[in-house]
């Protein structure tokens, strides 16, 4: 199911809300200009407990333009710029 969003007005909170309850393929433009489709989520059960603990205790300043997510295929944290999102497809 593809989620129909106004990608020009999409917010970090809106994407985080989707990924907090779903696994999705997020299509975005990488900083080098290439396009990437990443299967990702923010659902706790997909994230190893050691990684989850680290993410909750981080003291880094939050960059509101970027969303860190758990990449299902790479089993690692990855991030993308919210303004580069082209599509979100729930899997």
pLDDT of residue 34: 97
pLDDT of residue 51: 80
Band (47; pLDDT cuts 50, 70, 90)? very high
pLDDT of residue 21: 96
Distance CA 21, CA 62 (A): 21
Q: What is the mean pLDDT of residues 20-38?
A: 96
> Taking 70 as the threshold, does the pLDDT of residue 5 lie above it?
no
Global pTM reads 0.85
In angstroms, the Cα distances linking 43 to 21, 23, 32, 52, 63 are 6, 8, 28, 10, 20
Q: What is the mean pLDDT of residues 22-49?
A: 95
* Contact by Cβ (8 Å): 51, 62: no
- Euclidean distance between the first and the last CA atom of the chain, given in angstroms as a whole number: 7
């Amino acid at each position: 199911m593809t989620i129909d969003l106004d990608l020009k007005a999409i917010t970090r909170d809106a994407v985080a809300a989707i990924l907090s309850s779903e696994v999705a393929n997020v299509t975005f433009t990488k900083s080098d200009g290439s396009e990437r489709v990443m299967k990702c989520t923010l659902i706790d059960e997909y994230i190893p407990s050691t990684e989850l603990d680290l993410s909750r205790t981080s003291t880094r300043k939050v960059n509101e333009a970027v969303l860190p997510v758990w990449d299902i295929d790479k089993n690692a944290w990855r991030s993308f710029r919210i303004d580069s999102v082209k599509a979100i497809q729930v899997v």
